[in-house]
Structure 1
Amino acid sequence: MDDVRMLGLFAGVTTDPFGELLLRALADPGPTAVRIDLCRLPEGLPAHTDPGASPLPPQVRRLRALVADADALLIALPEADGPLPQSWATALNWLGWPSADSPLPDLPTAVLTTESARSSAPRSFTSAEELLAGAGCHLVGPRTVVAHAATTLRPRPDGRVLVTDPGVMLRLLTHVHRTATAARSTTRDSGPPR
């Protein structure tokens, strides 16, 4: 396998002001032998229902095809003790179910979370990780938490994003490389676009 192609999923700034910044920091210039393509969650995804005999909505089919085309998945979302933001819950449910043609089984997936301060005791698993595990993802963890994201992730005038804390950057790169290693050792049937 040449470069590992990772898809970095993030929500819009109203849901998560730091997810895109975090993935941009990792994608440019990017770790050696890893290509990270960024993808914002589609807006206006319909509520997840059991599609039965109905075809999947077009934006769901496009999102599934992007995920199916990737060697690994990076998910950037806000660290929270409560339920997932609705946009994330809807997207992950559509990606995982119906499971017969889900692109998630065995897909090496890293969860990266951001928070504005430092949580005293983050939960062992986020709701996203529970949904991903239920869909059969190969979760590469534990998740990496970026605390104090407003000061740790600094946009630069040239459009790049600087991670100001070297320890956080080391943890992020380690997580990305572990996910890339999992992708290189995983044989997935990409099959037709889903």
Structure 2
Amino acid sequence: MDVVHILGLCAPAEADPFGEALLRALAVPGPTGVRLEVWPAPLELPPHSNVTPNELPPQARALRRKAADANALVLAVPEATSLPPEPLLTALDWLARPKGGSPLIGKPVAVLTTTSAGAGTPSSPTETERILLGTGCEIIGPRTITPSAGKALQDQPGGRVFITDPAAAMRLLLHVRRTSKAARASSQLLSEDDFRPWL
């Protein structure tokens, strides 16, 4: 079975206390047949400017290459209708432009959000989802909210993170599974169903 490579993109902990923890919780051990690479947007990523492909800053070139090489993306952002944290917003700007030249075109992308408050349901689209709409990606929604993230995401030895809320964990894993399934279809990767034992 081919392994689906999902790029997990979030803001660094300095800008978002829960995003990276959420992705690390999903990355290890992770669903079967999926490799989730956690990649916080670097603080030193320069703001987007209208430059030619040959003038891309090295950090922006590396980000776009990571997105292009991945079969799908999962974004972890705070649950809010305002703009995502600045480093992640900058990263999304570099991925969304130029229009028609995004490495996300046709790529499955899921949005996972965290909140320090109690349970909630998605209402209006977040600014992150609005930005994604302009990239030509396939948004695998609706977004999944992790409520009370400060309690739900618990650090474990070895850098692992445990999700203490079973219902939230199930919703998140199902969302990642739907994203990986869409990635298999769009990337024409083999699944478990493609393998048959010798008769």
TM-score, normalised by the number of residues in structure 1:
0.90
2:85 is equivalent to residue 74 of structure 1:
no
Q: Decide which moves more: 76-85 or 163-172.
A: 76-85
Residue in structure 2 matched with residue 102 of structure 1 by the alignment: 102
Q: Tell me the equivalent position of 1:151.
A: 151
Aligned to 1:25: 25
Q: Give runs of aligned pairs for residues 81-100 of structure 1, distance below 5 A.
A: 81-100=81-100
Q: 2:154 & 2:45 partners in 1: Cα distance?
A: 30
Separation in structure 2 between the aligned mates of residue 116 and residue 147 of structure 1, nearest angstrom:
6
Structure 1 residue 187 displacement after superposition:
3.8
Paired residue secondary structure (2:46): coil
Determine the structure 2 residue equivalent to 1:176. Answer: 176
CA 1:146 to 1:73, structure 2 compared with 1: closer, same or farther past 3 Å? same
2:197 counterpart residue number = none
Contact kept, 8 Å, 1:51 with 1:98, in 2: the verdict is: no
Partner of 1:191: none
Query: Structure 1's 30 and 119: CA in aligned 2 closer, same or farther, altered over 3 A?
Result: closer
Give the superposition deviation at 1:9.
0.8
SS in 1 for 2:157: coil
Find the residue that maps to 2:55 and give its secondary structure: coil
Q: Which stretch shows the higher mean deviation, 92-101 or 23-32?
A: 92-101
Shift of 1:158: 3.3
1:57 CA displacement: 1.0
Aligned Cα root-mean-square deviation (Å): 1.8
Supply the AA of the counterpart residue of 1:166: P
Q: C-alpha deviations, 1:71-96, integer Å up to 9, x for none?
A: 01011111113222222221111111
Aligned identity (percent) is 49
**Residue equivalent to 2:44:** 44
Runs of 5+ unmatched residues, structure 1: 189-194
Pair 1:58 & 2:50 matched = no
Q: CA deviation at 1:97?
A: 0.3
Residue 192 of structure 1: aligned partner: none
What is the rounded CA distance, in whole Å, between the counterparts of 1:161 and 1:53 in structure 2?
Answer: 38
Determine which structure has more spread, i.e. the larger CA radius of gyration. Answer: 2
| Cα distance, 1:150–1:53 mapped onto 2, change above 3 Å | closer
Structure 1 CA distance for aligned equivalents of residues 74 and 127 of structure 2: 16
Give the Cα–Cα distance (whole angstroms) in 2 for the partners of residues 22 and 146 of structure 1. 9
TM-score computed with the length of structure 2 as normaliser: 0.88
Q: Deviations over 1:35-64 (max 9, x none)?
A: 111111022222212214761111000000
Q: Are residue 8 (structure 1) and residue 8 (structure 2) matched?
A: yes
> Does residue 132 of structure 1 match 2:149?
no
**Paired residues of 2:113 and 2:146 also in contact (CA < 8 A):** yes
SS at match of 2:37: strand
Unaligned ranges ≥5, structure 2: 189-199
Once residues 121 and 158 of structure 2 are traced to their aligned partners in structure 1, the CA distance between those partners, rounded to angstroms, is 36
